[in-house]
Amino acid sequence: MEFECNKTVLGRGGFGIIFNGFLGPNRKPVAVKRLMLEDVDGSEKEEEALRNLKHPNVVELHHVKSDSSFRRMPPREEVLYQLATGLEYIHKRGMVHRDIKPENVLIWVNPEKEEEVLMKWADFGLSKRVNERGSFSTSGVQGTDNWLAPELLKILIQEDELMDGTEGTSSRQRGTVKSDVYAEGLVFGYFYLDGEHIFGNIHSQTDIANNILKNNTVNISKIQPTHVHDLIVKMLSSVPDKRITSSEVVEFLTEYRTQHVRNQFRKGYIEKAGYGILFEGVWGTTRLPVAIKRMQSIHVLGQKQEESWLGLNHDNVVKLFHAENDSKFRYYALELCQASLNQIFLKDGDPQKYRGPKPQTEEALYQLAMGLEYIHEKKLIHCDLKPKNVLLWTGNSSTVMKWTNFGSSKEIDAKGTCPINEIKGGLDWLAPEILKALENEENQSENLAQLLWECCTFKSDVFAEGLVFGFLLLGGLHPYGSVSRNIQTNINQDKPASMSTKIPTSPIGELTLKMLAYKQENRLTASEIVEEFGDIRKVEINCIHDYGHNASLPVLCRNYGYENLYIIKLLIENGIEVHCNPNNEGNALNIIINHYREENRANIVELLSKEEIRQRGRTQAGSSSKAMKRKHN
């Protein structure tokens, strides 16, 4: 959906200007509010609130977008961090840029995800290779005077004196990568001073160059906050040997970012989780809300587990965005979810009980099945599937089930098994083949490790997923009992305590029993489970769901979406009943006339009217035919 904004100003208010404009191909008249970049963050709460409000007496928010002039930028310190890591990389590759200045900082915006904005160093026309000590020949110094380190400006002056025939010296010192750091400090200052130069008037090249040579930082006192001011001072040391390196700039910014995260922890504590503690925080250039898991170094994920989790990207798997550490802890930035599956079934008086929205049981199980199929397709065995490792994410009028906690996950070998020498998961949620390997106390060290290696397979995950399915179907009860010791015994002896007596016969119940087959070879694979769901989920387009409506036509007729016309047309082509009367609130035509107020209403009404006449005519024709047949008989 697009809108256009003309130059007619309707008003000025808050942080923006309001223009007259038009929305969509039908050119619906709208008011367009334009915000400057620095004011966007403060409008997010208003935007979120308006998206959820639909009422005749409340102004409606139709659409939000950015353009090249009024686009979201990363937080200021994130800009510094990105530039610092870029220059550090250049130096680690054995190069000096030699032309660091604002014009050579380019801004990249992900065309598929506008909120992803990256700063990039450009123009390597003057770059040089450096030796192992980070120095290079300074013959033919080039660059822009306003953005050169003092040691390079002095060399330029010497070269000018030699060319003019005035007295000068031909001795030349070698340049170093520290000159780039100085210029980067100037760029940092320029950014924090909103286009001013630290050493003077940006339009006076002579004044700036003279002030650089005299180390007269005329505008540096304006830079706030203090830690940014102090960093730039270290970068602008007039003596190269006393100037910090590009790696030290990154270390400084990283330490501040970590300290900032720790300060946020005090406000955003969520809960203890396994070997760590969960906090609410933000991550990345878009300040994305995340859950930050802090773990002591002795309990952190293994390198392979961390790399595997970082590589997972699926709607039904909790996303691991980033991992970093300080001197004491390792921090993991995770997709922020609202609850775990077991919290749904806590007692009513428990403050941890989840009372928010949740998907229908069949939909929840289908989502989990797709998540595990994806994990197995990535050649990973989760090894710790249980209700506590199922999280619920809510947003955009939907709830999504996600597998989490890959701390015990393993990559499979060529035989489809995984190397594992200990069990970290809950014993009540393990497959019988793993419990059997653990039950014999004589099987220790190498023998136990060998047994676990051989028995931990994809099918072990499938059994554990079946236990989670049963837990959800039974309303929070374990399929094999209520006491931990009995549960493990019942799993070992293939005696489900709850499944056969409490779950009504249904396709999903039968599917769950197939997942809980005692022998691995009799169990389904994760992909076969998804395939079976495909058969279970096949429904008539006019079926009635739990709330009394058919597939979706009344919902489309109540809620605005520009593409509704096309969706309704598709539903009609596939046989949806236009004249049905769900919940006694009238048919689709009644609903859209009573509730729908958007620019494509007329087209939808015309489409529904024609289809209703056609369907009623077909019904009446059928009735007349039957009557004639009875009369003839």
The token pair at 607 is: 């489409």
> pLDDT: is 450 or 76 the higher one?
76
- Tracing tokens 């691991």 back to the chain, one arrives at 320
How many Å apart are CA 211 and CA 453, to the nearest integer?
69
The token pair at 458 is: 């994809």
> pLDDT: is 119 or 60 the higher one?
119
Nearest alpha-carbon partner for 30 in 19, 22, 38, 41: 22
- Of the CA atoms within 13 Å of residue 152, those in its CB half-sphere come to 28
Taking CA atoms, 582 is separated from 58, 171, 236, 360, in Å, by: 28, 92, 72, 19
Q: Is the pLDDT of residue 280 over 60?
A: yes
Nearest alpha-carbon partner for 74 in 213, 245, 243, 191: 191
> pLDDT: is 320 or 3 the higher one?
320
218 neighbors 193 (Cβ within 8 angstroms): no
- Tracing tokens 């200021």 back to the chain, one arrives at 76
**Domain 269-336 is in which class?**
alpha beta
Taking CA atoms, 188 is separated from 177, 199, 233, 462, in Å, by: 17, 13, 11, 53
Q: Is the pLDDT of residue 265 over 60?
A: no
How many Å apart are CA 439 and CA 448, to the nearest integer?
10
152 neighbors 175 (Cβ within 8 angstroms): yes
- Tracing tokens 């909120």 back to the chain, one arrives at 115
> pLDDT: is 23 or 611 the higher one?
23
Q: Is the pLDDT of residue 246 over 80?
A: yes
Amino acid identity of residue 312, one-letter, is L
**How many other CB atoms sit within 10 Å of the CB of residue 119?**
21
Taking CA atoms, 542 is separated from 548, 568, 590, in Å, by: 11, 13, 18
Q: Is the pLDDT of residue 447 over 80?
A: no
Which stretch, 134-148, 263-277, 425-439, has highest mean pLDDT? Answer: 425-439
pLDDT in tens, 525-575: 999 999 999 888 754 444 444 444 444 455 555 554 555 555 556 555 555
Tell me whether residue 272 is annotated as binding: no
How many Å apart are CA 13 and CA 128, to the nearest integer?
52
**Domain 354-536 is in which class?**
mainly alpha
Q: Is the pLDDT of residue 268 over 60?
A: no
How many Å apart are CA 409 and CA 302, to the nearest integer?
10
Q: What is the structure's pLDDT at 549?
A: 44
Q: Is the pLDDT of residue 172 over 90?
A: no
Q: What would the mean pLDDT of 157-163 be, rounded to a whole number? A: 73
Check for a shared fold between 269-336 and 354-536.
Answer: no
How many Å apart are CA 568 and CA 561, to the nearest integer?
11
Tell me which fold the domain 76-255 belongs to. Answer: Transferase(Phosphotransferase); domain 1 (1.10.510)
Q: Is the pLDDT of residue 272 over 70?
A: no
Q: Provide the pLDDT confidence category of residue 218 given band limits of 50, 70 and 90.
A: very high
Q: Is the pLDDT of residue 229 over 50?
A: yes
What is the dihedral sign for C-alpha 442, 447, 449, 450?
negative
Q: Provide the pLDDT confidence category of residue 423 given band limits of 50, 70 and 90.
A: low
> Residue 31's beta-bridge partner residues?
20
Q: Which of 65-74, 420-429, 453-462, 575-584 has the lowest mean pLDDT?
A: 575-584
> pLDDT: is 474 or 59 the higher one?
474
Q: Provide the pLDDT confidence category of residue 591 given band limits of 50, 70 and 90.
A: low
Q: What would the mean pLDDT of 208-226 be, rounded to a whole number? A: 93
- The full DSSP string for 108-162 is EE-TT-TT-EEEEE---TT-EE--TTSEE--TT--S-GGG--HHHHHHHHHHHHH
Q: Is the pLDDT of residue 73 over 80?
A: no
pTM given for the model = 0.52
> Residue 393's beta-bridge partner residues?
400
Q: What is the structure's pLDDT at 471?
A: 94
pLDDT in tens, 89-129: 999 999 999 999 999 999 888 776 666 788 999 988 888 89
615 neighbors 577 (Cβ within 8 angstroms): yes
The token pair at 388 is: 């506590």
Beta strand pairing call for 105-109 and 288-296: unpaired
CATH-assigned architecture of domain 1-71: 2-Layer Sandwich (3.30)
- The full DSSP string for 76-111 is HHHHHHHHHHHHHHHHHTTEE-S--SGGGEEEEE-T
Q: What would the mean pLDDT of 295-312 be, rounded to a whole number? A: 79
Q: Calculate the average pLDDT of the chain.
A: 77
How many Å apart are CA 203 and CA 152, to the nearest integer?
21
> pLDDT: is 163 or 294 the higher one?
294
SS3 23: strand
The token pair at 489 is: 């015994």
Q: What would the mean pLDDT of 607-621 be, rounded to a whole number? A: 60
SS3 607: helix
HEC secondary structure over 293-337: EEEEHHHCCCHHHHHHHHCCCCCCECCEEEEEECCCEEEEEEECC
Can you say whether residue 14 is alpha, beta or left, with left for phi > 0 and alpha for psi between -120 and 50 degrees?
A: left
pLDDT in tens, 464-505: 999 999 999 999 999 998 888 789 999 998 888 766 557 667
> pLDDT: is 618 or 110 the higher one?
110
- Tracing tokens 């996303």 back to the chain, one arrives at 319
> pLDDT: is 338 or 573 the higher one?
338
> pLDDT: is 385 or 325 the higher one?
385
Q: What is the structure's pLDDT at 626?
A: 44
Q: Where are the domains of the chain?
A: 1-71, 76-255, 269-336, 354-536, 553-632
